[in-house]
Amino acid sequence: MIATTAGVMRTLTYRIVDQIGRVLRDHGLLTISLRPEELCEVAQFRAHLTDFGGDDFLAPLSMLVQCLEEEATLTVVGRLFIKEILIQKLINRLLLADSFRRHPEIMDVEIRAPIFITGLPRTGTTLLHRVMSQDTALRHLQMWEVWKPTPPPDPATYATDPRRRNRPYNNSDAPGIPGIICGLEDQLIGTEIIQKRQAAHMVGMSEPEECQLLFMNSFTSQEFVLFFADAIPSYAMCLLNQDLIRSYQYYRLQLQLLTWKFPGRRLILKSPMHLQSLNTLFQVFPDASVIWCHRDPRSVVPSWCKLNRIDGEIYNSVSSEGGYRLGPSVLKWLGAEADQAMETLRILPQEQIVHVSYRDCASDILNCVLTLRGRLGLSEHNAATEQMRAWTVRNPAHNHGVHEYKAATFGLNDEAINERFSSYRRAFASYL
């Protein structure tokens, strides 16, 4: 049963669990601490390890927690979910450091000419990434790998790795009651919300997924922004203005671990997050190729707002007016990201950047990919072409539902969006 309170859909299970949690909290019987030092201690206890591989993650973790405490309106269920997610990311760091200690040769793995797909969110990056990933000569990363990258994936057990059996974003391996509640995530969220999420962005443990999830292990990821919609605007803007060189260096280490046992295969990676740090990306990966996807901001902004709103309602006590706050917040953030990327573009190696139109991807993705392959120096391969063609047949548009959105729902209109993105529209008019 789904009930709507203040415009937010909640299952009966969610409301019961959250109400019990509030009663226990109000009587001093339940404390869900997000203090970084306590999270670190819990992670060390569960992993039976102590070395996080440095302490540069503490500042962004503290910033994130501060924003969650001061700006977000977490439900009890939401607070428990995010606590377990933060602990899981800390455990990832402990396990990664242990892998690097046991196998220092991982740090000598070559990352050769990786391909990065980026652009503002909702510009077709996922479609392009998943089609290109069908080429077995390329190495893509699946959801189970970017969520829990250790132990290092092995070709001998890749198809049967037990991490594939987990649910996306689920931390049901936590001990005790937290693990039980996390295991009930589907029942808590409800079928309707899950269907809306899948229609907007289909996630499967064995599907190619965004590499920005690896940045969660540094606590500098746009994924946290998606989880909380407009609830942590200070974190979103701080992330945009932060020097992420240390995060990209740690990201490179994780890629070395994930490709350690897959030598000779060129990486195909994807995340809208890379758009805000293109200069840093080229510093860490100087031989990279970047595919920059473009779409009319009048579609980008409300589509991203809708996806944010879906996820934000899971974790936050969102009011019925929340959408009107979300729209201006997203417009400010995405507008600043586009401006920053255009400013950086002038100093980047133009010959290593390819621009792509969402319109071309949506109308004929296979032809778009085949054209791109030539630009990226990928040889023609009939088997790869057939694999990509077969994927498009199995995954037609709207296969998981229709993602519907309107700017007015979020307090915006086409004029306001056009005005904020006027420079971007002029610079990339031919791709919009």
Answer yes or no: is pLDDT of 339 > 70: yes
What pLDDT is attached to residue 3? 47
Answer yes or no: is pLDDT of 200 > 80: no
Question: What's 142's DSSP letter?
Answer: B
pLDDT in tens, 349-359: 999 999 999 99
What pLDDT is attached to residue 322? 60
Domain of residue 331: give its range.
2-431
Strand partners, 353: 290
Strand partners, 103: none
What pLDDT is attached to residue 4? 44
What is the DSSP secondary-structure string of 327-356? HHHHHHHHHHHHHHHHHHHTTS-GGGEEEE
Give the least confident one: 66-70, 119-123, 232-236, 353-357.
232-236
If one counts every other C-beta atom within 10 angstroms of the C-beta of residue 397, the result is: 10
CATH code (residue 291): 3.40.50.300
Cα→Cα distances 344→20, 79, 138, 303, 420, Å: 50, 37, 28, 25, 18
Helix and strand tally (H, E) in the chain? 20, 7
Q: What is the mean pLDDT of residues 349-373?
A: 94
CA 170 to chain centre: 14
C-alpha dihedral over 306, 307, 308, 314, to 10 degrees? 110
Q: What is the mean pLDDT of residues 250-271?
A: 96
Q: What is the mean pLDDT of residues 336-360?
A: 96
Name the pLDDT band for 171 (thresholds 50, 70, 90): low
pTM for this entry? 0.94
Q: What is the mean pLDDT of residues 59-86?
A: 93
Which residue bears the tokens 């420079």? Answer: 423
Answer yes or no: is pLDDT of 236 > 60: yes
Integer Cα distance of 90 and 172 in angstroms: 16
To the nearest whole percent, how much of the chain has pLDDT over 70?
Answer: 96
Our count of domains for the chain comes to: 1
Give the least confident one: 8-12, 162-166, 299-303.
8-12
If one counts every other C-beta atom within 10 angstroms of the C-beta of residue 245, the result is: 13
Which residue bears the tokens 């979103």? Answer: 236
Name the pLDDT band for 150 (thresholds 50, 70, 90): very high
pLDDT in tens, 383-431: 889 999 999 999 888 777 778 889 999 999 999 999 999 999 999 999 9
Name the pLDDT band for 2 (thresholds 50, 70, 90): very low
The SS3 assignment for 136 reads coil
Q: Round the average pLDDT of the chain to a whole number and report it.
A: 90
